[in-house]
Chains A and B, each alone.
Chain A
Amino acid sequence: MPHLTKSLLLAILLVISAVTCFGQSTTGTVSMSATVSKFVEINSGGAVTLTGNSGGGVTTDGVLNSPLAVSINLGELGPSNTNSFVTAQVPLKLRSNAGYVLSMTGTVTSSGTTSNRIGAADVGFGLGTISRTGTGVNTSGTDTNATSGDPTLAANGSVNGTSGRYEFTAVRSNLSAFSSATTALNGSFIMNAVPRSNGNGLTVPAFFAIKPQFFENGTTTISVTFTVTAP
């Protein structure tokens, strides 16, 4: 290789080294990433409505958009209560960024000792009309109500012709169907891309009903837990 060529190559290398040492650049890079996890929540949809009661009352009421923690005293459930049903309507509010499943578990504990005590089958249950309204709500989403709705509807129960006991006979219309976690409602994502501060969501009333009858005297405790998940 001619010496002149060698010298030129060396000189070019020097220039390249010089530029490298100067460390200048006309570009810079900013890479970014973000994660969105599935999110679901259940809160109170507002105040509880208690009807047909004799005595009793709402001990701890629901507060809109606050964690659901309601306590209700249904009052007298024997024949001295002459109303057709004692009904508690508990508004629920659900929100999610993914398809959701609302399940429920209910237990009924009575101080009675005979089959005439209040049992899970004597506590009617159902979810009412589902509402997806308001800014930021996926109003075109669909929901499937696995219950039969308001348990006091004539179609959902009747007096047993043999035993004479009133029974909630429709599909998933009483708490005996929810002795373990059982789906009550499911549907598509509820919220569009809006901040959590948006107060809207899916609302649905949960109905609980007992028909006053000649139950064995005593006290009964009904405990219900709602759980929403995003499978």
Chain B
Amino acid sequence: MRLRLFTFAFLTVLILAVAPATFAQALDISSGGLPTITGAVNGSVTGNANVTGDLVVTINFGEVSPLNTNSVVKVVVPIALRSNQPYQVAVSMSGLTNANSEALQASDVGFGLQNPRLLGGAGQICNQSTHIVRSPFNNDPAVSAAIGANGRVSYPSTLASLSGSTVILSGPELSKNNSSKRQQSDGWVFDAVFALTPQFFVSGVSSATLIFTISPGPNAPC
């Protein structure tokens, strides 16, 4: 009995001793706060207001035919990132495959990354490397929208800019401490900005799913 207890205690201590070392390499992506939507008709966005909650956001752009007389439907999704090592964020997309070119296409949904800031005012500030929003995603698509030669609205970067799993962001470590728990204020927040201009699209309902993934990134000394 004594041996069993000893074995159990030993293993527990061993695991707890090893765990922090393992978790110290943690990479985490979560909600960065409540997402917002403007310019929508019958649209909505839901997400987690708590920065320790998972990033699970549902956007309904609503009506995007000319029945919506607003100039653009804009959605801002704050995303919190934590790591104690260089990181990168990649995005992959599924859905939104309308065969009719006049229907809503991936290229009709502007997508950019903006407004990097410390999570809750605290996070790792590195002097030797910066957080890099990869080209062409460093823009606010609602602001940078333009009319193309064919009269259709275009953006510097859209969901069509995603090819497979596309890295949109990378940089040095994001968190100061080695806690593997989600902190309210130890990381960085970036805004994923989506813009969709109401147009004479062919009628129908379209949907897409984006998966944001954080993983170890290229060397970026802090």
Which residues in A have some Cβ–Cβ distance to B below 8 Å? 3-4, 7-8, 10-11, 14-15, 18-19, 21-39, 41, 95-98, 135-136, 138, 189, 191-198, 200
Contact = CB atoms under 8 A, between A and B. Distances in A.
Contact of B203 (A8, A23, A38, A195): A38
Contacts of A29: 55-57, 209-212
A135 B202 CA distance: 17
A189 B60 CA distance: 26
Contacts of B201: 36, 97, 193
B15 to A, nearest CB: 5
B55 A189 contact: no
Given A28-B30, A31-B58, A198-B151, A3 B4 contact: yes
Interface residues of B, number: 75
A33 B43 CA distance: 9
Given A31-B57, A195-B197, A136 B8 contact: no
Contacts of B104: 34, 36, 193
A5 to B, nearest CB: 10
Nearest 7 pairs of A and B residues by beta carbon: A28-B55, A136-B151, A191-B200, A194-B151, A34-B61, A196-B66, A32-B59
Contacts of B30: 25, 28
Contacts, number: 211
Contacts of A194: 147, 150-153, 199-200
Contact of A22 (B55, B181, B196): B181
B210 A26 contact: no
22 contacts: A11-B11, A18-B19, A19-B23, A24-B181, A26-B29, A26-B214, A28-B30, A28-B54, A29-B211, A32-B207, A33-B60, A33-B61, A34-B62, A36-B63, A36-B202, A39-B67, A138-B102, A189-B102, A193-B108, A193-B200, A194-B151, A196-B69
Given A28-B29, A39-B200, 14 more contacts: A22-B182, A23-B181, A25-B29, A27-B29, A27-B214, A28-B54, A28-B57, A28-B211, A30-B57, A32-B58, A35-B61, A35-B62, A96-B200, A191-B200
